[in-house]
Structures are given as structure tokens and as C-alpha cells.
């Protein structure tokens, strides 16, 4: 009986290993394209937060940056869809993440309830959950490197 359980466990783990990389790439691709394309058309629920974050930049209007960030996210998504461009996608993602976390520092009144870092607002939670995206990208990058070297 113990042998059977071990064999089933190994089969499940093998399937998870086989499908995890494409699952991360494809889901990242879909989500980044979907959420990115909303921004240039002023359909993103994150629009006000994004505009408030970039208003201090020395050139370009918040609307300009909204479009740039949106198309940048589309580029991230498209490059995740193809295994040959995964490294490019990860690089673009990490550059994008720098800006993604800026509201936590620049707009704490919008990202934390009463300024308490332990009680994020919905916007704060939306930003903080990107730690999972970074973690998955690290796993993906590590698996991709092993597979291609």
C-alpha cells in the first residue's frame, strides 16, 4: 500500500513539474496582456492610483504614463507567451515591479489604512500580492535556466 501511495505521489509531482513552467508563463501572459490593455483605454481600476503615483515625474502627463505602463505590461505578457522570450519577459517584469511598489512609499494614505503598514487598503493588497508574482518569476527563471543550459 505504501508503495502505491509513493508511486501516485511521484506521478503527481512529475505532472506538476512538467506543467508548472508553461502554466506560469501562459497565465502571466494572459494576465499581463489583459490588465495592460485596459490602461491605455482608461478602463483599468488601478488608473487613479497609477496616475497619482506618476504625477511627480519630470516629463509626460499621467495619461501618457498610463499608456506607457499599459503597453509595457502588454509587452511583458506577449513575451511570456513564448518560451524563447521568457528571459526578456522576466527582465521586463522586474523593471515594471519597481514602479508597481512605488505607491506603498509615495501614497501610504491610499495603500494603508490610517497609515498602519499591517492593515493595507484594497489598493495596498493589490500591490503587495505582487510578491507572489515576483516569487513565481524567480521559480520560472530558475527552471528555465536549468532547462536551456
In a domain, 4, yes or no: no
Structural domain including 80 reads 23-148
At residue 64, the pLDDT reads 96
In a domain, 47, yes or no: yes
At residue 85, the pLDDT reads 96
- Bridge partners (DSSP) of residue 120 are 112
At residue 145, the pLDDT reads 66
At residue 72, the pLDDT reads 98
Under a CB-based contact definition with an 8 Å cutoff, are residues 72 and 116 in contact? no
Under a CB-based contact definition with an 8 Å cutoff, are residues 129 and 121 in contact? no
At residue 24, the pLDDT reads 96
In a domain, 30, yes or no: yes
In our burial notation (b when 16+ CB lie closer than 10 A, e otherwise), range 90-99 reads: bebbeebbee
Under a CB-based contact definition with an 8 Å cutoff, are residues 30 and 77 in contact? yes
At residue 37, the pLDDT reads 98
**Predicted model pTM:** 0.89
In a domain, 11, yes or no: no
Q: Mean pLDDT in each 10-residue stretch from start to end of the chain (149 residues)?
A: 90 91 96 98 95 92 96 98 96 96 96 95 96 96 69
Structurally, the chain folds into a number of domains equal to: 1
SS3 112: strand
At residue 147, the pLDDT reads 55
Residue 7 CA to residue 13 CA, distance in Å, equals 10
In a domain, 76, yes or no: yes
Amino acid at each position: 500500500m505504501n508503495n502505491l501511495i509513493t508511486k501516485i505521489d511521484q506521478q503527481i509531482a512529475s505532472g506538476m513539474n512538467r506543467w508548472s513552467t508553461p502554466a506560469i508563463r501562459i497565465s502571466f501572459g494572459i494576465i499581463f496582456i489583459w490588465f495592460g490593455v485596459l490602461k491605455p483605454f482608461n478602463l483599468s481600476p488601478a488608473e487613479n492610483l497609477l496616475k497619482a503615483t506618476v504625477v511627480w515625474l519630470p516629463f509626460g502627463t499621467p495619461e501618457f504614463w498610463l499608456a506607457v505602463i499599459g503597453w509595457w505590461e502588454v509587452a511583458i505578457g506577449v513575451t511570456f507567451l513564448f518560451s524563447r522570450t521568457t528571459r526578456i519577459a522576466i527582465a521586463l517584469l522586474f523593471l515594471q515591479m519597481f514602479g508597481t511598489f512605488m505607491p506603498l512609499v509615495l501614497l501610504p494614505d491610499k495603500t494603508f489604512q490610517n497609515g498602519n503598514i499591517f492593515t493595507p487598503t484594497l489598493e495596498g493588497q493589490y500591490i503587495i500580492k505582487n510578491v507572489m508574482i515576483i516569487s513565481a518569476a524567480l521559480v520560472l527563471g530558475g527552471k528555465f535556466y536549468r532547462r536551456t543550459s
